[in-house]
Amino acid sequence: MTNQYKSIIAKEMFRLAGDGKKRKDVTFKYSQVGLSNKLGISNAYVSNMIAGKWDNISDAMWRKVQNILNIDFDWNIAETTNYVNVTELLAKVQQKNLTVGISYDAGVGKSQAYIDYDRLNHNVIYVECKIYWKTKSYVKNLLNAAGLEAEGTTEQMIDTFISHVMGLENPIIIIDQMDKLKEGAFDLFMDMYNDLFRCCGFVVSGVPALKKRILRGAKNDKIGYREAYSRLHKTFIELSPIDQEDVEVICKANGITDEEEISLIFNQCDGDLRIVRKDVTKYFILQEAV
């Protein structure tokens, strides 16, 4: 981990939490303690990283922070159609305390829009769900995403989270890959919604399996599913398939201007932006080898 990369990480940490000094007309997304909770590291590490006291901080610690904060040294994010549309939707959801569901194919740019919206805006709580999470793990990650310490029983942590969100101005909770949640954690959406719908926006998102799961649960009268479907206004927002213009924007943002190469990458990507990234990276590796 070079000092140049460490500086990029430290600069982002400062943008999120400052250096511990109060400033007029400046509000940071987290306190330094809150950022340490999000990162799962001590407050001392956060303070020293921001202050440039790096001698006793391992490269492994820097990489952990880099990954949690989704800092990418070698890739430029491009404003594809879905990226722009999802970002605009998130702003409306947050401003108006709306609740929406997005159920669409993987690899079309949903998560990147969520990540950047979370990074650049206040009172955004974003979690990317994992298939192995049990209810307590899910609640812990909600707390950490909000910059809160995850301690106590599951019930105590839920109460802490709800109380915190109630005190925020126009908060939004983004639950990404919700289709991966087990039943207990999945069911918490209704409880959170019932407590927070007057003061909080919600986005629940996943692949087409999310829509199928909710529709099947509602049809079979499974507890909570009809209510969840109703709260989503019985509608899931459709995104756009990846087109050549999206691929062109990404390629040019990352240094490829050859139109033939852009067309080749588009034709090979099968509508998946993750394949686009791999092919862009491969292109430069092959260029260096020539």
pLDDT by residue, tens only, the chain of 290 residues: 999 999 999 999 999 999 877 777 788 999 999 999 999 999 999 999 999 999 999 999 999 999 999 999 999 999 999 999 999 999 999 999 999 999 999 999 999 999 999 999 999 999 999 999 999 999 999 999 999 999 999 999 999 999 999 999 999 999 999 999 999 999 999 999 999 988 999 999 999 999 999 999 999 988 889 998 998 988 999 899 999 999 999 999 999 999 999 999 999 999 999 999 999 999 999 887 75
Q: Token pair for residue 51? A: 């202050």
Distance (Å, whole) CA 270 – CA 287? 23
Q: pTM of this prediction?
A: 0.94
**Cα angle at 274 between 181 and 242, to 5 degrees?**
95
Distance (Å, whole) CA 213 – CA 218? 9
**Cα angle at 149 between 144 and 154, to 5 degrees?**
85
Fold for domain 81-237? Rossmann fold (3.40.50)
Does domain 3-68 fall under CATH 1.10.1200? My reply is no
Residues 6+ apart with CB under 8 A from 67: none
CA 167 distance to own-chain centroid: 22
Res 290: pLDDT: 57
Res 272: pLDDT: 96
CA 251 distance to own-chain centroid: 23
Q: For residue 177, give Cα distances in angstroms to 106, 212, 223.
A: 10, 13, 21
Q: Token pair for residue 244? A: 């050549």
**With left for phi above 0 and alpha for psi between -120 and 50, is residue 271 left, alpha or beta?**
left
